[in-house]
Structure formats: structure tokens, C-alpha cells
């Protein structure tokens, strides 16, 4: 009960009193540990079959009044601390988080957000964690420090550790007395985690492992007391010795651990990142997490479980930027008009508001799925949230800086720091390139198994199945309407969103047919077609985002949430834009599609010095080409066809082009706390 007493003192000090302590802070279902086991894929898998599993995403996840009150009371002191006590400019300038700031974070309990109360933590749900992430993201260095500690550093103990390990390590990690780090990446293995070379050798007496090797880019590496370390171990598999990766809990107090000089980074400069070297570090047998040889699965589960929060954290950052830049745009005058009156400036604010809404919607939908009993496998959904939010966040901070013009480019204002801090988002917790491969291949593997099973059934003489599949294809090929159950008598989408729901249904149906076509065309070699897989992933991400905003807006209307009409506007605007982007990408996936530039892209890359497994932009490759000077020869490689999809769309879908002026109507959202019904 030490934890409750500590928070009693804390919340009295900020004027909240005993109200928070009187409510049931941690419900039993929130205290459960996530088991490493085979779990059912969640919503995304059925999209690969051209189907919508409505039960997974409709209605939008809700929270009760008690939990809402708890969230609001918990958020208030955290927001107050970040607004009044955190000097982000100083943290960035000195590349260090001051001890007093770290102590404040510890007193607020932010080092134990998702650790169950029985081990001294807050034991919050994924939904509540996502809400706090919105506030914590106001300082990138602090956000990364806390995420490295609990989203990955201690997560292995939480999801795969035994009871003895949890009792020994989690209490001090929850209080912040000990800080955690996640040690996986090595000089020779970045995204390819299976190729690590750090080795753990069983001692002669068989009582401990001796770990030797080097890890790089380790967040919290120099300040961590407890590390989750991944190393190769020798295990017996069917009587044969094999190298397998194992996960270990390593204390800095064990000795033999050396931290290198902190990296001088572009952004998140206050977070500690360094190389960590292990030299025959003795680790007791009881510190193996899970099974010996089961470390790779532990690592993947750790990484997969925490990505969803990037949606809410990015949205929190964008809403703060909107607040800051809108004040400037409303007062700055050019050509006798305020900046906020110019159409292109309005479009920037609309785009930022739209992105924040979509990120939030995806993050809280995913968090709600993860909070359900049974813990479904939401790794694909979480990866989609991460990709969409990290790239959307990067675009939004750049646009916010653009509104400020030259002022935004100076260090006197925080915008350039936001740009630098945000650039890491598409890189860490799995690069977006790797995640796109994971998203596409996971779904296509599932679709391949289902389709193979259907083919086998038809070969066995299942005429009913064959007729159903053929009839479906004929109906759609002759212009039959697509009905996946989102609208109509048994529909789950509110009537005011019918047009957008129909767009989603058409996209999903075409996506399923396209995936089937791609699988038949490439078979197992699809794993080598990265440009194809990228488009598959991008379409799927848009489909999930469309689903999230439709579900959220429908729920808001149904319960009479304030500003629900604004949510409808946001949802319709996004779905219209995403629909046409999806159609263009799906057209590119068709065989012999003239819109597909893949062959040209590969040829250009090869001619510019990128070939096979070597990437060499040699000086001699940057030759003069026509009127292009040497300094300009590579500029065209930055061209992105998705940005000009309105000009290049095929017209045989019979749809009107998006109304660009519709974006201007998307005004800034009211300053939002978490809605009563998420």
C-alpha cells in the first residue's frame, strides 16, 4: 500500500484531495499480465479478404464516468507540471534532463504508468496510458526517456517475466528509483534483430550466464539500473545444438557494463542515448525472461505492444502546435489581411486538425481493442498507428513552422525544436519501411492461407463455395453495389456518414480483390516486391484510419457529444481524400498498370549508383544530365506521386474529384480534453 500512500500525499499537494483515491483506480482486468501466447489477429486481417469485421471496431470503445473522472484528475497535475516546471528549451540546449525534473516525474508516478498497483505502479489501461501520452509528448526528450523505460525497457518483465522477477524488479522500476533500458540493437544488426552477435555463455558451474557484446543507440543506456538484454545462447533442439536468442534481466550492479559517450543527436537531445558494452557480465539463471531461446519472440512482443501510443502522443503535439501557431496567424498581417484569412494558411491548419483527429481516432480505437479481455493481437493495428502518426506528425510540424516563416526557423522559438524532435518518429520503434513490410506480409500471409483453403475445398467438390465466390465476382464486375454491412437496416455507421461509409466499403472490396490478384501473380516471391508491399500497406493504413474516424464520429452522434457535427466534417473530409488516394494506389497494383512507375524507379536508382546490396552515390554517378547541374541531378528522386493523385487518377471509377475547398471549412477544433465517450 506504499504506492497509494505516496499518491495520497501527491494529490493532496495539487488540490485534488481524496476524491481520486476514493475511486477504484485499478480494476482487476487492468492488472493482468500479457501472456506470450498465440493470439487471434484483430480487425485488419479481414480487410485483406475484402471483408469488414464490424464487431471489432463498432461501436467505438467507451469509458465509464468513473474512469473518465479518474483520467481527468490524473491528467491535471501532469499537465500542470509540464506547463510550469519543464523547461524544454533548457533540456534541449544542455542535452540533459535536470535531476529535479526527473524527480518530479517520479513523484507523479509516470515511471509506473502501466505497472499493476500490486507492484507499486498506477496500473492504468492502454486507453488511459494513451491519454497521458498526449501530455508527456509536449517534451520529446522526456517522452522518449519514459517510453524507453516502460514501453520497452521493463515491458519484458511485465509481459513475460515470472512472479519472482516481477516482485523483485517492478516496485523500484515503478517508483523511478530504478530506470530501465532495452538493449537489442547492435553495430551489425539494426532492423534485422535476428542477426545480433552478443553472446551469453553458460558458466562451467551452470549457475549463471556470462554476457559479452556491444549494443548501440540504447535510450537510457547510461542512466539505466536495469536492462533487458538480448543475446545468443546455445540450446538443444531435437538433440542438435543451435543458436537461439534469449532475453535477460541485467542489473548494472552485476559489473562488467560500460556506457559510452552520449550521442550528440539532431533532436530529443535531452534523452540519453549511448553505446553499452558487456564484458563477461555474470547473470543468474533466474534472470532469463521466459524460456531460454525464446528471446526473439519476447523482443517482438515488446516492440509490438507499445507502438499504438504514438498516435495520441503525436496528436497531443499537433494540438499544441495548432494552439501556438493559430495565435500568430490571427495577429500577423500581410497585404492588409491576417494570415488566417489566406486560403493556403487555412489549408495548413485544416490539415493539422485533420491529422490530429485521425491519429487520436486510430490510437484510442486500438487501445480499446487492446484493453479487451483475451488480449487480441493488435500488432498490425499498432504498427499502422505508428506509421500514420509518425509521418503525419513530421508533416504537421513542418507546416506549423511554415506558418511562422523565418521566425519558426530561429532558435528563439520552439518550432525548430519540434521539427528536430519529431524527425526520429519514423525511425525508432521499428522503421516505417520495416513496419510497412510487416503490415503487408502479415495480412497477405493470412489471406493466402484462407484463399488456399478455399481452393482446396472447391477441388474437393464444394460447389456451394465455388458458386458463392463466382457470383460475388460477377455481381461486382457488372456494377453491382458493394454492401459490407456498414450502412442500411443493420448498419453500424450513422446515416449522416453514409457516403463516407460507402467509400470505405468500395475500397475494402477492391482491396480484397487486388490482394487476391497480387498473391496469384507473385506467389511466395511477393516477399521480394517491396514497392508492391508498400502500396498494400499504405492502402490498409488508410482503410483502418477511415474505419476509426467513422466509428468515432458515429459514436459521437449517437451519444450527442458536443461538437459531433465537427467530427462528422472531419471524418467525411478524411474519407473523401483517402478514398481517392486508395483508388490510385490500387490502380497501380493492377498488372501492366500504366500508372505503375516501379520499373522506372528501379532503373533510375540503378543508374544513380544504387545497385543490389550496395548503395553508393559516387561522385561520378552525379554526372551532368541535360540542363541539370551536378548539384541538381538527384533532386527529382524526392518526387512523390501520391501528392499529385488528383491529376493522375483514372476516371473509370465514376467518382467526382475531392472538393479541395472542403478542407478550408475544417476549422480549428475546440481545445479537447478526452471526450466523455471515447
Active-site residues, by number, are: 429
Alpha carbons 285 and 164: distance in angstroms, whole number: 13
DSSP, res 148: I
Distant-in-sequence, close-in-space partners of 491: CB < 8 Å, separation ≥ 6: 485, 501
Cell digits of residue 398: 513542418
Cβ-contact 390, 314 below 8 angstroms:
yes
Alpha carbons 59 and 494: distance in angstroms, whole number: 11
DSSP, res 237: E
First-last CA distance in the chain: 31
Residue 168: C-alpha distances to residues 176, 181, 226, 618 (Å): 14, 17, 11, 54
Coil, strand or helix at 652: coil
Q: Kind and range of the H or E element at 305?
A: helix 295-306
Strand pairing category for 199-202 and 333-334: unpaired
Number of H helices, E strands in the chain: 24, 12
Centre a 10 Å sphere on the Cβ of residue 181 and count the other Cβ atoms it contains: 28
Alpha carbons 509 and 532: distance in angstroms, whole number: 18
DSSP, res 628: B
Alpha carbons 149 and 157: distance in angstroms, whole number: 12
> Which residue, 155, 129, 157, is CA-closest to 143?
129
Cβ-contact 575, 659 below 8 angstroms:
no
- Reported as half-sphere exposure (CB side, CA atoms, 13 A), residue 334 has a value of 10
Amino acid at each position: 500500500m506504499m504506492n497509494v500512500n505516496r499518491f495520497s500525499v501527491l494529490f493532496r499537494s495539487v488540490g485534488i484531495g481524496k476524491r481520486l483515491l476514493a475511486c477504484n483506480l485499478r480494476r482487476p482486468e487492468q492488472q493482468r499480465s500479457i501472456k506470450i501466447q498465440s493470439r487471434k489477429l484483430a480487425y485488419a486481417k479481414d480487410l485483406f479478404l475484402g471483408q469488414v469485421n464490424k464487431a471489432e471496431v463498432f461501436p467505438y470503445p467507451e469509458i465509464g464516468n468513473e474512469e473518465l473522472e479518474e483520467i481527468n484528475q490524473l491528467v491535471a497535475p501532469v499537465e500542470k507540471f509540464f506547463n510550469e516546471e519543464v523547461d524544454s528549451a533548457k533540456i534541449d540546449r544542455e542535452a540533459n534532463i535536470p535531476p529535479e525534473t526527473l524527480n518530479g516525474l517520479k513523484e507523479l508516478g509516470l515511471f509506473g504508468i502501466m505497472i499493476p498497483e500490486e507492484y507499486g505502479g498506477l496500473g492504468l489501461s492502454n486507453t488511459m496510458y494513451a491519454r497521458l501520452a498526449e501530455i508527456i509528448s509536449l517534451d520529446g526528450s522526456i517522452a522518449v526517456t519514459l517510453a524507453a523505460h516502460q514501453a520497452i525497457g521493463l515491458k519484458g518483465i511485465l509481459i513475460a517475466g515470472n512472479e519472482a522477477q516481477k516482485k523483485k524488479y517492478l516496485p523500484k522500476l515503478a517508483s523511478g528509483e530504478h530506470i530501465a533500458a532495452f538493449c537489442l540493437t547492435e553495430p551489425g544488426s539494426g532492423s534485422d534483430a535476428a542477426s545480433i552477435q552478443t553472446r551469453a555463455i553458460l558458466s562451467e558451474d551452470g549457475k549463471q550466464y556470462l554476457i559479452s557484446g556491444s549494443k548501440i543507440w540504447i535510450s537510457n543506456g547510461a542512466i539505466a539500473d536495469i536492462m533487458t538484454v538480448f543475446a545468443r545462447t546455445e540450446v538443444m533442439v531435437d538433440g542438435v545444438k543451435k543458436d537461439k536468442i534469449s532475453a535477460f534481466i541485467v542489473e548494472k550492479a552485476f559489473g562488467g557494463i560500460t556506457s559510452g559517450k552520449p550521442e550528440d543527436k539532431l533532436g530529443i537531445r535531452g534523452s540519453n542515448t549511448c553505446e553499452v558494452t558487456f564484458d563477461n557480465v555474470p547473470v543468474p539463471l533466474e534472470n532469463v525472461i521466459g524460456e531460454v531461446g525464446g528471446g526473439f519472440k519476447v523482443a517482438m512482443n515488446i516492440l509490438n505492444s507499445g507502438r499504438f501510443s504514438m498516435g495520441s502522443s503525436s496528436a497531443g503535439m499537433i494540438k499544441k502546435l495548432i494552439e501556438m501557431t493559430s495565435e500568430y496567424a490571427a495577429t500577423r498581417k500581410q497585404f492588409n489581411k491576417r494570415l488566417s484569412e489566406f486560403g493556403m494558411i487555412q489549408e495548413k491548419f485544416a490539415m493539422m486538425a485533420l491529422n490530429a483527429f485521425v491519429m487520436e481516432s486510430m490510437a484510442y480505437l486500438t487501445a480499446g481493442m487492446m484493453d479487451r479481455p483475451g488480449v487480441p493481437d493488435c500488432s498490425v493495428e499498432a504498427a499502422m498507428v505508428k506509421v500514420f502518426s509518425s509521418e503525419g506528425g513530421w508533416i504537421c510540424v513542418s507546416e506549423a513552422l511554415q506558418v511562422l516563416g523565418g521566425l519558426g526557423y530561429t532558435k528563439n522559438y520552439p518550432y525548430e525544436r519540434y521539427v528536430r524532435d519529431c524527425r526520429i518518429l519514423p525511425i525508432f520503434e521499428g522503421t516505417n519501411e520495416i513496419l510497412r513490410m510487416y503490415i503487408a506480409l502479415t495480412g497477405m500471409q493470412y489471406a493466402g492461407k484462407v484463399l488456399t483453403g478455399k481452393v482446396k475445398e472447391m477441388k474437393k467438390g464444394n460447389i456451394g463455395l465455388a458458386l458463392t465466390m463466382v457470383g460475388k465476382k460477377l455481381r461486382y464486375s457488372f456494377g453491382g453495389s458493394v454492401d459490407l454491412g456498414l450502412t442500411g437496416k443493420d448498419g453500424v455507421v450513422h446515416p449522416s456518414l453514409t457516403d463516407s461509409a460507402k467509400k470505405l466499403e468500395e475500397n475494402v472490396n477492391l482491396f480484397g480483390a487486388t490482394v487476391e490478384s497480387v498473391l496469384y501473380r507473385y506467389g511466395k516471391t511477393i516477399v521480394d516486391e517491396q514497392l508492391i508491399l508498400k502500396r498494400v500497406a499504405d492502402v490498409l493504413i488508410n482503410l483502418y484510419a477511415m474505419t476509426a474516424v467513422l466509428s468515432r464520429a458515429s459514436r459521437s452522434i449517437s451519444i450527442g457529444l458536443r461538437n459531433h457535427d465537427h467530427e462528422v466534417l472531419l471524418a467525411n473530409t478524411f474519407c473523401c481524400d483517402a478514398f481517392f488516394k486508395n483508388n490510385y494506389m490500387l490502380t497501380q497494383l493492377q498488372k501492366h498498370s500504366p500508372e505503375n512507375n516501379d520499373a522506372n524507379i528501379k532503373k533510375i536508382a540503378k543508374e544513380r549508383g544504387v545497385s543490389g546490396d550496395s548503395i553508393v552515390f559516387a561522385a561520378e554517378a552525379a554526372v551532368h544530365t541535360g540542363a541539370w547541374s551536378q548539384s541538381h541531378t538527384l533532386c527529382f528522386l524526392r518526387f512523390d506521386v501520391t501528392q499529385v493523385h488528383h491529376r493522375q487518377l483514372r476516371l473509370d471509377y465514376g467518382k467526382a474529384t475531392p472538393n479541395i475547398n472542403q478542407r478550408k471549412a475544417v476549422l480549428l477544433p475546440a481545445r479537447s480534453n478526452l471526450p466523455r465517450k471515447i
